[in-house]
Amino acid sequence: MKILISKGHLIDKENALDKIADILIEDDKIVKISENIDEYVEEEHTINADGCIVVPGLIDNHTHLYPFIKKGIPAESVCFSSGVTTVVDAGSLGCDNYEDVRNFLKYSRLTIKAYLNISSEGLAKLPEVEDLEPKNFKTEKIKNLLKKYPDELIGLKIRVSKNIVKEKGYESLKEAVKIAREAMVPIMVHSTNPPDSLDKMVNILNRGDIVTHMYQKSPFTILKNNKIYDAVLEARKRGVLFEAADARAHFSFEIAENALKENFYPDIIATDLTAFSMYQRPTAFNLLNQIAKYEYLGLSFSDIIKSCTTVPAKILGLSKNIGALKEGYQADIAIIKKENINVEFGDRPYSDMGKNIRKGKFIYNSMLTIKNGEIVYRNILF
């Protein structure tokens, strides 16, 4: 089957695309990108994208999915309707329950990868927190699962919030990093409300590891006297990645705005969506809302798209197939439209007395999503 996308504004910074052009898809591949493609395609498969932006299928590098956890998001419906064609579950499951649930992956058209929680049951018992006693980590079982499912499991996840690690401080993180190194995988670290300063945390990490919730505000942040910690800057030089996955309360305008003044931008922009934050204004809502919020904060649109396509594709080891508008690549494509409308962005829910609100002038609306050459979502007005 052929699909022709015509007259869209193609944006893909990695491939120096920023122009009006057509895309021809045949079966599951992008076969041609050019101005005015002269190719017969049935009318119902010819998409007039005039006035719209065409980008690689978005990659949400941080979510929690159902049925991995009960309060996870319904993956295909939420993702496809917001231009997301690849998604990562960030540690919902541990080594004791991953195999109980993973079977659903083979029934999903959405590409799904996962971080394995260092705690053996992951987040399955929430609101009861994870067991992060290092002596209880099932090291061999963890390493065996990572070896058994390398196409599914991409690394380890740990939450180092003070209420979870308690008096152990960063000892749990040190042991988790040790296991990650032995398994030769990265680790993603939830950094909200850490037990000690962020410089001590990032000094434990190395190339490929991810600090998520980078703009969180708690007693310890990436800033010291409104300047980025030297240790944080050094960590980035070593190859540690910083992710803005904001959910309902893992983000602060105060921290973000001061960090951005220092040109400390996210490597990755994601959502950390769960059933609690999915479609909830004025916070994360979905990945398109995140894109609009960070553009409001001053990041260029092309850099934002790179942070939720090119960069996560490389992290996932999929950059030779997705994350780009390129001939020969998998036909994962999002068509979106910039809607000029008054909106509110918040760093806490409306019900939170500590919230901060910023008033924006636009939002992005998903018009059509293509996954593996198949139209999986179309806006009723498009």
Tens of pLDDT along 132-146? Answer: 999 999 999 999 999
In which region does residue 298 sit, left (phi positive, over 0), alpha (psi from -120 to 50) or beta (all else)?
A: left
Q: Which of 303, 205, 286 is nearest to 245 (CA)?
A: 286
Q: What is the mean pLDDT of residues 225-238?
A: 96
Average pLDDT, the chain: 96
**Model confidence at 41, in pLDDT bands (50, 70, 90)?**
confident
pLDDT of residue 39: 86
Residues 6+ apart with CB under 8 A from 320: none
- Measured in degrees and rounded to the nearest 5, phi and psi for residue 338 equal -80, 120
Residue 203 CA to its chain's centroid (Å) = 24
9-20 pLDDT tens trace: 999 998 899 999
Structure tokens at 215: 């703009």
Residue 262 above 90 pLDDT?
yes
pLDDT of residue 122: 96
Q: What is the mean pLDDT of residues 295-307?
A: 98
Tokens 């409306």 sit at which residue? 350
Q: What percent of the chain is predicted at pLDDT more than 90?
A: 92
pLDDT of residue 157: 98
| Contact indicator for 85, 332 with CB cutoff of 8 Å | yes
Q: What is the mean pLDDT of residues 195-221?
A: 96
pLDDT of residue 381: 93
Q: What is the mean pLDDT of residues 275-283?
A: 90
Alpha-carbon distance of 200 to 129, in angstroms, equals 23
| Contact indicator for 59, 87 with CB cutoff of 8 Å | yes
Alpha-carbon distance of 104 to 324, in angstroms, equals 27
- Bridge partners of residue 336, in order along the sequence: 53, 366
Residues 6+ apart with CB under 8 A from 75: 63, 65, 66, 87, 108, 110, 112
| 140, containing H or E segment | helix 139-148
Burial class of residue 217 in the structure, from the number of CB atoms within 10 Å of its CB (0-12 exposed, 13-18 middle, 19+ buried):
buried
Whether this model's pTM surpasses 0.85: yes
| Contact indicator for 209, 186 with CB cutoff of 8 Å | yes
Alpha-carbon distance of 299 to 330, in angstroms, equals 27
Q: Which of 333, 349, 339, 336 is nearest to 31 (CA)?
A: 333
Q: What is the mean pLDDT of residues 107-131?
A: 95
Residue 334 above 90 pLDDT?
yes
**Model confidence at 267, in pLDDT bands (50, 70, 90)?**
very high
In which region does residue 239 sit, left (phi positive, over 0), alpha (psi from -120 to 50) or beta (all else)?
A: left
Q: Which of 302, 318, 222, 238 is nearest to 269 (CA)?
A: 302
pLDDT of residue 40: 85
| 361, containing H or E segment | strand 357-371
